[in-house]
C-alpha cells in the first residue's frame, strides 16, 4: 500500500512528490491555525508541533464514576508527556472504585471538587504545543539517554530524556517519553512501589534506546531510593520473592551498574508519582528538560556509590555522595544492611540524615 495524504513543512519535499499523494494539491505550507491528525495525535505543520486533544465536558452533568471513566478514556496522551496531570484523574477514578459507589451515583464533595478543578484546567493542555523535533542531527556529536523513576503511596512513574551534545560544545535535553500508573489497591510499602517504578523505567528506557539505537554505555537510570539501589546490587536469590522477581526483570533490561542516585528535588519523575496541576506542569523546566545538572559533564553529576563486601551475616554498605548536588563532597555512613529488606533508610532516618 502506497502512503498518501502526505503533509510537510518543507516545500522542497512537497515538490518532490506527485500531487495525488499530498493531503492538498497546492504547495502552500499550512498556516499556524491549520491542524492535522495521525494515529490519534494532533499536530500543526507550521510550526512543527503536536498537542493532545481533550474532551469537552458538560459542567451541568453530575460527577459520577461513569462520567470520570468516560473522560479519562478520551484523553489520549500516548507518549505520556502530560502524565503528571492525567494521573490525577486516574487517582480520582481509583478512589471512586474503592468507594463502591453505583456507576451513576454522584460522588462525594471532596472528589467532586478535585474533579471540577481538573476538568477546568484541561483546555490549557490543548493550548500547549510540544515541539516535534527533539534535536539537531546536522551538528550532533553523540546522544545519551537519562531516565528517572519515583513512587508514592498513590502512584509511580518514570520519564526518559535525551541529551544531545553538539559540535559547538552546547547541549540540549528534552523529554522523550513518560508513563505514570496508580499504585495497586493492595497496599505495598514504598520500597516495593519504587521497584515497580524501576521496572517501568527499565521498560521505557529499553524501548527508547532500541528505537534510537543508543548503546548501553550511553544509558543512565536515576532514582531517589537508596533501598532500591541496595536491592539492585544484590543477587536476586538473596532477596525475598517479590524483590527478587522485580530485580531480575529490571537488571535484565538495565544492568545494575547503570543505576544512580538522585535527590527527590531533582527527580522529574516525582511529578508523575505525586500528580500536579496543569499550570505547574507547563511551567516546570524540571519536567520538560530534566534537572539543570543534566546538561553538565558527567563529573558534575550527583554521585552515590554503594559497595557490598561478601559478608554472610549481613552486607556492609558504604556510600559516598558527591557532584553537583553536594558541597563539599562528603562521606555519609558505613552501615549494616540486611540483604532482604535493606535497613539503610531506617538507619539514616534514625540519625536524621537525608539523601533526598
What's the pLDDT tens digit per position in 275-333? 999 999 999 999 999 999 999 998 889 877 655 544 323 333 344 444 444 433 323 33
Strand partners, 171: 165
Angstrom distance (rounded) from CA 93 to CA 59: 18
Taking all residues of the chain, what is their mean pLDDT, rounded to a whole number? 80
Q: Identify which has the larger pLDDT, 259 or 343.
A: 259
Cα 345 → chain centroid: 24
Angstrom distance (rounded) from CA 106 to CA 124: 26
- Contact between 246 and 201 under an 8 Å Cβ cutoff? The reply is no
Strands of 259-261's sheet in order across? 171-182, 155-166, 140-151, 219-223, 259-261
Strands of 330-337's sheet in order across? 303-307, 315-322, 330-337
Q: Is 166 exposed, middle or buried (0-12, 13-18, 19+ CB in 10 A)?
A: middle
pLDDT band at 353 (very low <50, low <70, confident <90, very high): very low
Judged against a pLDDT cut of 60, whether residue 270 lies above it is answered with: yes
What average pLDDT does this structure show over 262-278? 94
Angstrom distance (rounded) from CA 276 to CA 286: 13
Angstrom distance (rounded) from CA 199 to CA 331: 29
pLDDT at 188: 87
**Which domains does the chain show, CATH number per domain?**
11-51 (no CATH), 134-350 (3.30.420)
pLDDT at 154: 94
Nearest Cα to Cα of residue 126 among 45, 41, 48: 41
SS3 273: helix
Q: Output helix, strand, coil percentages for the chain, rounded to the nearest 5.
A: 40, 25, 40
Q: Specify the length of the chain in residues.
A: 356
What is the grid cell recorded at 251? 537488571
Lowest mean pLDDT among 57-61, 148-152, 222-226, 240-244: 57-61
Contacts of residue 195, Cβ cutoff 8 Å, sequence gap at least 6: 228, 231, 242, 243, 246, 247, 250
Q: Identify which has the larger pLDDT, 7 or 83.
A: 83
What average pLDDT does this structure show over 25-47? 64
Q: Identify which has the larger pLDDT, 213 or 42.
A: 213
| CA distance between the termini of the chain | 54
pLDDT at 147: 97
Angstrom distance (rounded) from CA 236 to CA 287: 33
Positive or negative torsion for Cα 26, 27, 28, 32: positive
Angstrom distance (rounded) from CA 86 to CA 75: 8
Express each pLDDT in 127-163 by its tens digit.
Answer: 888 888 888 777 888 899 999 999 999 999 999 999 9
Amino acid at each position: 500500500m502506497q502512503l498518501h495524504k502526505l503533509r510537510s513543512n518543507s516545500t522542497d519535499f512537497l515538490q518532490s512528490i506527485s500531487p495525488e499523494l499530498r493531503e492538498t494539491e497546492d504547495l502552500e505550507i499550512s498556516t499556524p491555525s491549520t491542524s492535522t491528525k495521525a494515529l490519534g495525535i494532533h499536530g500543526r505543520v507550521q510550526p512543527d508541533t503536536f498537542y493532545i486533544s481533550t474532551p469537552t465536558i458538560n459542567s451541568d452533568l453530575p460527577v459520577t464514576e461513569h462520567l470520570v471513566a468516560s473522560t479519562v478514556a478520551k484523553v489520549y496522551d500516548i507518549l505520556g508527556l502530560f502524565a503528571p496531570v492525567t494521573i490525577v484523574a486516574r487517582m480520582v477514578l481509583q478512589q471512586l472504585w474503592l468507594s463502591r459507589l453505583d456507576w451513576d451515583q454522584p460522588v462525594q464533595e471532596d472528589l467532586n471538587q478535585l474533579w471540577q478543578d481538573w476538568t477546568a484546567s484541561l483546555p490549557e493542555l490543548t493550548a500547549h504545543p510540544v515541539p516535534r523535533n527533539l534535536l539537531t542531527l546536522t551538528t550532533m556529536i553523540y546522544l545519551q539517554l537519562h531516565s528517572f523513576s519515583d513512587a508514592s503511596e498513590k502512584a509511580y512513574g518514570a520519564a526518559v530524556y535525551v541529551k544531545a551534545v553538539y559540535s559547538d560544545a552546547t547541549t540540549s535535553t528534552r523529554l522523550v517519553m513518560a508513563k505514570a500508573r496508580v499504585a495497586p489497591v493492595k497496599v505495598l510499602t514504598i520500597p516495593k512501589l519504587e521497584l515497580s517504578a524501576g521496572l517501568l523505567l527499565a521498560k521505557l528506557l529499553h524501548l527508547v534506546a532500541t528505537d534510537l539505537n543508543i548503546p548501553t554505555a550511553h544509558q543512565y537510570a536515576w532514582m531517589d531510593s537508596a533501598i532500591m539501589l541496595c536491592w539492585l546490587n544484590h543477587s536476586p536469590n538473596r532477596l525475598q520473592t517479590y524483590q527478587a522477581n522485580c530485580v531480575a526483570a529490571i537488571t535484565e533490561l538495565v544492568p545494575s551498574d547503570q543505576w544512580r542516585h538522585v535527590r527527590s528535588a531533582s527527580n522529574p519523575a516525582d511529578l508523575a508519582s505525586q500528580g500536579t496541576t496543569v499550570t505547574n506542569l507547563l511551567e516546570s523546566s524540571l519536567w520538560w528538560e530534566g534537572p539543570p545538572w543534566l546538561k553538565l559533564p558527567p563529573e558534575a553529576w550527583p554521585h552515590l556509590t554503594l559497595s557490598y563486601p561478601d559478608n554472610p551475616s549481613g552486607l556492609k554498605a558504604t556510600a559516598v555522595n558527591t557532584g553537583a548536588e553536594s558541597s563539599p563532597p562528603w562521606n555519609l555512613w558505613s552501615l549494616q544492611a540486611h540483604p532482604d529488606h535493606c535497613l539503610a533508610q531506617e538507619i539514616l532516618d534514625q540519625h536524621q540524615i537525608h539523601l533526598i
